[in-house]
Amino acid sequence: MADDDTVDLTREQQVEQDDSEQEQPVATVLGGRPEGPPEHVSIPDELPILPLRDSVAFPGTIMPLAVGREKSRQLIDSVLTGNKIVGLVAQRFSETEDPGLGDLYRVGTAVMILRLLKMPDGTQSIVVHGLSRFGLESLIRAEPFMVGKANVREDRVEPSTELEALVHNCRHAAGRVIELSPNVADDAKIVLTNIEEPGALADFLAANLSIGLVHKQELLETFDVTDRLRKVHAALATQLEVLELSDKLQTQVKEQIGESQRQYYLREQLKVIQKELGQLDQQDAEVQHLKEQIAKAKMPESVQEAAEREVARLSKIPTASPEYSVAMDYVDWLCRVPWSVSTEDQLDIARAERVLDHDHYGLEKVKKRIMQFLAVRKLKPHGRGPILCFVGPPGVGKTSLGQSIARAMGRKFIRMSLGGMRDEADIRGHRRTYIGSLPGRIVQDIVKAGANNPVFMLDEVDKIGADFRGDPAAALLEVLDPQQNYSFTDHYLDVPLDLSRVMFIATANYIDPVIPALQDRMELIELPGYTEQDKLHIARRYLVPRQLSEHGLTAKDLRIEDGALLRIIEGYTREAGVRNLERQIAGVCRAVAVQVARGKRRAARVTARTVSRYLGLDRFEPETASRTSVPGVATGLAFSPAGGMIIFVEATRMPGKGGLILTGQIGDVMRESAQAAFSLVRSRSEKLGVHIEKLASCDIHIHVPAGAVPKDGPSAGVAMLAALVSLCSERPVRSDVAMTGEVTLRGLVLPVGGIKEKVLAAERAGISTVILPQRNKNDLAEVPKEARDKLTFVLASRVEDVLKAAIEPPAPIGAGRKKKTRSRATGKATRKVKAKAK
Amino acid sequence: MKVELASVEDDFDQLAQQMGKIMDEMLERNFVRFRWTQQWRPSVNLYEADDRYVVCVDLAGMDHRRIEIHVENQKLTISGTRPGPRPGQAQGEIRVRMMEIDEGPFSRELALASDVDPTRIAARYCKGYLWIDLPRSSG
């Protein structure tokens, strides 16, 4: 075909064109164009008939047609050299390959061929312009292509109001259809408004309506314009209804998902913008950050798997979801646990000893145990940590001892107070399913410490509570068992955490309330109360310097002499620990601080005599002497969480029938031991020098002040016996003697607990002689030497021994004098237990 | 006040049509085109100078005597009928393989700016172009 395109410019052609190169004037006519009928192409009676598949051509429309069939090619070849007018008639069935007259509709459209196009794939297309309708009357010939006898049909137009209305309505409806149809070009609307002829309008719309071939053909065959418009209008209305309905549906759906979609789009856009700016989007950044954290945390394999699983889940959850932050927090916690971070133990025993000695006075037993622990650690670095439990009265330094241990070992120190804790979840955490759940305190504190081998102090383990939320003590069982705690599982973390490298230290004032299973897991170390000498040392070395600095004073401003300190210890405090002592020293410091602040230059010197200027009158005085001057009062020794103390047992009698009244908030055990003592007195009245008749005609009342403080235990048995005997024999009990021990009906004195504390309490109270059960002899070894030196001990195995030592002698009693133990003041014959106790 | 010389837009402005077609093809939308008259529209260039407008009409193959130019009511109409081209030197039967050149009756209307002096309009035909001179009335 390329040959056809090439123009062969021959000589003759150029010559022919010469004259046209000259300018030729063209007449312009001012004024109206001569009105004549528009040049209409006349349609011949004989028309080549081109069958159409699946479409109908309407007058006025311009449409492309593919020319495929050989017959059609020949037809077009023939027509294009002539008048280019063809009759288009639709086939009834598109499958018919070579249609005859019977296969065609009988009304078609005469068209002018405007263009013959060669398509890129080599096929031919024609563009035709519809001219007018025609009726196909008959075929003139069928070969090589059909030629038919055509009868041109003009539109029948009868102007009427209905026609006008139809034109208007059709335009309006068509306008709406164009608006609603997404696949109709907008300029169709311009065409629509420019067509004035009703018939042409109907044809334009008919050509563009999406209706079937049969309907289109029907419209083609409707020559009456009003009728045609009516049909077009009906079809338009149907189409419009469908479009409007689907539009409405779409709008509804859009409204429903509009808002969330809008947010989604905005977020996606934000992501893209952030990416463009070189920032990862927030979620990616967070996930990335977590991954780095996980890599850094050096977790055990199983934990790392759990963490990575959670992160993988995290990247799929939208950030707005509440689960996102839960998962996020969880992984964050996992990363913060010091899985493989530990402090290096300082196993220099000499240094540790120095640290402990520097921080604490005395407490040799505890220090020795800590040294042992360190020594073992040194020999076997990965042994299981022991669990120590310091038991002792308040203020003796249990907590600060824990701190010293941590310092001595170079470990982190964690203190967790269990006092009042009543929820198991405090220890073990909440499950992650709960909103606001957190790991338990153990994990939290270890995370806070940032090392997996801290010294972990469980303070006040005896004050743990329990209620319906579970028993924290039971949860502690797992924590404190060296056999189990290498895989402690917190409910929140849900992965095992090795606690075996943690050194647990528990403290308690009193071991009895601690459940036996827990007691069993711990190594108890008792911290006794301090003696006066201990307190003096502590005050000098620790309390005074600390209080001076806390009050902004220097040693130049204030000097507290030892005598003054002793006076404060004896007269102003009564305690096992040193808290009150420190408070009193602080009181002295405050008073001096006022003077210094007023501008007084001279250094203050506090002596035993001037203490009262600073602290007022003595709060305490040795009570024993004044109170035991009457028969019926004996001094007992008691043991409480606050340390040992002296108690008084008062007995009196009144006319009655031999009854026994017990008061003073005493518990069942103490009540029974009082009854035992009473029965003993009655059964042995002869031996004890008591008149049985007197007992029968009166009631005895035993009272143990202070009445508001609950007391219990069997150890006051001997004191009650002494009080009863003293009352009945009308001989007072010696005021400087204190006693402890359980009595039996056979008259035996049974051993009791807390000897050390009781002895220290007796010493504090100004007692000179202490009566103890014989079988408690070994306990004396624990009593500090100074206390032993100051006191005289009487070891009693039977009640007679007690009474001999306790009751004033004037009235003679039956037992021999040889065995009587005298006070230290009486001289060499005193049976000093000191040597034996050692 | 000066009003631009502008072509009367009808529904078959070729360039616009072409643009529209490209757009429509891109957007996959279409509709059956419609032309009521059988006349085709020749393409036009319009130039503006200080003293005149010049219109150039692409009208190859015309006999200049058969081009009609009318001016009325600020409207310039160019019309006529272009005969179809015939390959004169060919022998035997001729078959058309491509056909893209418009033929037959044509018409083109242009609205005139208000300052065009209708009395001095002149036109000439040269090398297939029809040139129309539209002098502007001074002042």
Tokens of residue A414, six digits: 């964690």
Residue A225 pLDDT exceeds 70: yes
pLDDT band at A709 (very low <50, low <70, confident <90, very high): low
- Residue B113 in domain: yes
Instruction: Among A10, A14, A26, pick the best mutation site for testing chain B contact (most B Cβ within 10 A).
Output: A26
Asked which of A526, A554, A578 is the last residue of a domain, the reply is A526
Residues A384 and A422 in one domain: yes
Q: Determine the Cα–Cα distance for residues A300 and A291; give it in Å rounded to an integer.
A: 15
CA A771 to chain centre: 59
What mean pLDDT do residues A548-564 have? Answer: 85
Which residues, including other chains, have CB under 8 Å from residue B63's CB and lie 6 or more apart?
Answer: none
Radius of gyration of chain B (CA): 18
- Residue B69 in domain: yes
Q: pTM, whole model, 2 decimals?
A: 0.48
State residue A12's pLDDT score: 38
Q: Which of A131-140, A483-492, B100-109 is the least confident region?
A: A483-492
Residues A359 and A328 in one domain: no
What are the phi and psi torsion angles at A51 (to 5°)?
A: -75, 140
Most confident of the following: A195-209, A686-700, B88-102: A195-209
Tell me the pLDDT tens digit for each residue of A340-391.
888 887 778 888 888 888 888 877 877 888 888 888 878 887 777 678 888 8
State residue A398's pLDDT score: 83
Q: What is the CATH number of the domain that holds A671?
A: 3.30.230.10
Tokens of residue A760, six digits: 């220290």
Instruction: Yes or no: say if A150 and A106 are a contact pair by the CB < 8 Å rule.
Output: no
Residues A377 and A303 in one domain: no
Which residues, including other chains, have CB under 8 Å from residue A540's CB and lie 6 or more apart?
Answer: A562, A565
Chain A environment of B67 (Cβ under 8 Å): 26
DSSP annotation of A797: S
Residue A37 pLDDT exceeds 50: no
Distance, in angstroms, between B68 CA and closest chain A CA? 7
CA B119 to chain centre: 22
Strand A769-773 vs strand A737-739: parallel, antiparallel, or unpaired? Answer: parallel
Distance, in angstroms, between B42 CA and closest chain A CA? 14
Q: Is the ipTM reported for this complex over the cut 0.85?
A: no
Give the C-alpha distances (Å, rounded to integers) separating A644 from A650, A765, B61.
Answer: 19, 10, 135
- Residue B87 in domain: no
> Out of A20, A58, A114, whose CB is closest to B127?
A20
State residue A619's pLDDT score: 67
Asked which of A129, A153, A177 is the last residue of a domain, the reply is A153
A176–chain B Cβ distance below 8 A for any pair: no
Q: What is the CATH number of the domain that holds B60?
A: 2.60.40.790
A515: containing domain: 349-526
- Residue A267 in domain: no
Distance, in angstroms, between A12 CA and closest chain B CA? 10
Instruction: Yes or no: say if A352 and A371 are a contact pair by the CB < 8 Å rule.
Output: yes
Test B100 with A23 for CB contact under 8 angstroms. no
Residues A512 and A570 in one domain: no
- Residue B92 in domain: no
Instruction: Yes or no: say if A503 and A456 are a contact pair by the CB < 8 Å rule.
Output: yes
Test B119 with A194 for CB contact under 8 angstroms. no
- Residue A160 in domain: no
Q: What is the CATH number of the domain that holds A416?
A: 3.40.50.300
Q: What is the CATH number of the domain that holds A550?
A: 1.10.8.60
Instruction: Yes or no: say if A535 and A569 are a contact pair by the CB < 8 Å rule.
Output: yes
Scanning every residue of chain A, which has its alpha carbon at the shortest distance from the alpha carbon of B39?
Answer: A39
Test B34 with A60 for CB contact under 8 angstroms. yes
Q: Is the dihedral of CA A57, A63, A69, A71 positive or negative?
A: positive
Scanning every residue of chain A, which has its alpha carbon at the shortest distance from the alpha carbon of B127?
Answer: A21
Residues A295 and A411 in one domain: no
Percent residues over pLDDT 70 in chain B: 76
A180–chain B Cβ distance below 8 A for any pair: no
Residues A447 and A539 in one domain: no
pLDDT band at A621 (very low <50, low <70, confident <90, very high): low
State residue A797's pLDDT score: 85
Which contiguous run of DSSP H or E holds residue A114? strand A107-118
- Residue A313 in domain: yes
> Out of A23, A188, A195, whose CB is closest to B36?
A195
Residues A359 and A454 in one domain: yes
Number of other CB atoms surrounding residue A742 within 10 Å: 20
State residue B57's pLDDT score: 93
Instruction: Yes or no: say if A553 and A589 are a contact pair by the CB < 8 Å rule.
Output: yes
State residue A217's pLDDT score: 92
Tell me the pLDDT tens digit for each residue of A188-202.
788 888 888 888 889
How many domains does chain B divide into? 1
State residue A30's pLDDT score: 65
pLDDT band at A135 (very low <50, low <70, confident <90, very high): very high
The mean predicted confidence, pLDDT, of chain A is 80
- Residue A190 in domain: no
pLDDT band at A469 (very low <50, low <70, confident <90, very high): low
Tokens of residue B113, six digits: 């700016």
A41–chain B Cβ distance below 8 A for any pair: yes
Distance, in angstroms, between A150 CA and closest chain B CA? 20
Of A432, A418, A407, give the one whose Cα is nearest residue A479: A418
A533–chain B Cβ distance below 8 A for any pair: no
B51: containing domain: 6-82+102-135
What mean pLDDT do residues B22-49 have? Answer: 73
Can you spell out the DSSP letters for A401-462? HHHHHHHHHT--EEEEE-TT---HHHHH---TTSTT----HHHHHHHHHT-SS-EEEEETGG
State residue B30's pLDDT score: 58
Residue A632, by phi and psi: left (phi above 0), alpha (psi -120 to 50) or beta?
A: left
Distance, in angstroms, between B119 CA and closest chain A CA? 8
State residue A435's pLDDT score: 78
| 3-state secondary structure (DSSP) of residue A133 | strand
Test B96 with A77 for CB contact under 8 angstroms. yes
Q: Which of A70-79, A168-177, A522-531, A684-693 is the least confident region?
A: A684-693
State residue A433's pLDDT score: 81
Residue A692 pLDDT exceeds 90: no
Residues A747 and A776 in one domain: yes
Percent residues over pLDDT 90 in chain A: 6
Tokens of residue B96, six digits: 């058309």
- Residue A25 in domain: no
Instruction: Yes or no: say if A6 and A110 are a contact pair by the CB < 8 Å rule.
Output: no
- Residue A29 in domain: no
What mean pLDDT do residues A274-292 have? Answer: 74
B100 compared with A423, residue with greater pLDDT: B100
Q: Is the dihedral of CA A359, A365, A368, A374 positive or negative?
A: negative
Test B124 with A25 for CB contact under 8 angstroms. yes
- Residue A423 in domain: yes
Residue A773 pLDDT exceeds 60: yes
Test A1 with B24 for CB contact under 8 angstroms. no
CA A215 to chain centre: 71
Q: Which of A443-452, A541-550, A719-728 is the least confident region?
A: A719-728
Tokens of residue A769, six digits: 């002689």
State residue A513's pLDDT score: 79
Tell me the pLDDT tens digit for each residue of A717-766.
888 888 888 887 777 888 788 888 888 888 888 888 778 878 888 887 77
Tell me the pLDDT tens digit for each residue of A578-589.
888 888 889 888
Amino acid (one-letter) located at B11: D
Catalytic positions of A, written as ranges: 715, 758
Tell me the pLDDT tens digit for each residue of B50-67.
899 999 999 998 888 889
Test B72 with A31 for CB contact under 8 angstroms. yes
Test A24 with B124 for CB contact under 8 angstroms. yes
Residues A652 and A737 in one domain: yes
A-B C-beta contacts closer than 8 Å = 146
Residues A784 and A824 in one domain: yes
State residue A452's pLDDT score: 84
State residue B54's pLDDT score: 93
- Residue B93 in domain: no
| 3-state secondary structure (DSSP) of residue A804 | helix
Residue A83 pLDDT exceeds 90: no
CA A476 to chain centre: 21
A65 compared with A604, residue with greater pLDDT: A65
What mean pLDDT do residues A684-701 have? Answer: 74
Of A90, A367, A132, give the one whose Cα is nearest residue A218: A90
Q: Determine the Cα–Cα distance for residues A358 and A360; give it in Å rounded to an integer.
A: 6
Ranges of beta strands (E only) in A495-546 are 496-497, 503-508, 523-526
Of A313, A250, A251, A248, give the one whose Cα is nearest residue A283: A313
Residue A244, CA atoms < 13 Å, CB-side half-sphere? 11
State residue B9's pLDDT score: 42
Torsion (CA) A273, A277, A278, A284 in degrees, nearest 10: -30
Test A28 with B124 for CB contact under 8 angstroms. no
Give the C-alpha distances (Å, rounded to integers) separating B126 from B68, B107, B131.
Answer: 15, 19, 8
Can you spell out the DSSP letters for A214-236? HHHHHHHH--BHHHHHHHHHHHH
pLDDT band at A629 (very low <50, low <70, confident <90, very high): low
Instruction: Among B13, B31, B35, pick the best mutation site for testing chain A contact (most A Cβ within 10 A).
Output: B31
- Residue A709 in domain: yes
Residues A467 and A601 in one domain: no
How many domains does chain A divide into? 5
State residue A294's pLDDT score: 85
Residues A512 and A386 in one domain: yes
B68 compared with A314, residue with greater pLDDT: B68
Tell me the pLDDT tens digit for each residue of A653-682.
888 777 888 887 777 888 888 888 888 887
